[in-house]
Amino acid sequence: MSYVPLERLIDKSRGSMFKLVMLASKRALELAEGSSKLVEAPQDTKITTLAMLEIAEDKVEMGALKAEAK
């Protein structure tokens, strides 16, 4: 099981917990609909955790409708 510290994520959402939740949920929905992963993670990683890992590694940014690899 992966754990993404909140401290690594809150700055990515310009200090807003609401924006972080919205970004992670939108990315998780994209992943659930078949978008490719932007980070390496074990096969059994939940999509919400995977979305947070992508945010933490700057693969997904605020304002982006579709995530793009950097």
pLDDT in tens, 6-34: 887 888 888 889 999 999 999 999 999 99
Closest by CA position to 19, among listed 70, 64, 57: 64
Residue 1 is predicted with a pLDDT of: 54
pLDDT tens by residue, 29-66: 999 999 999 999 888 999 999 999 999 999 988 775 44
Q: Which two tokens stand for residue 57?
A: 């590694």
Report pLDDT for 64.
58
Contact 20, 13 (CB under 8 A): yes
What pLDDT sits at residue 35? 92
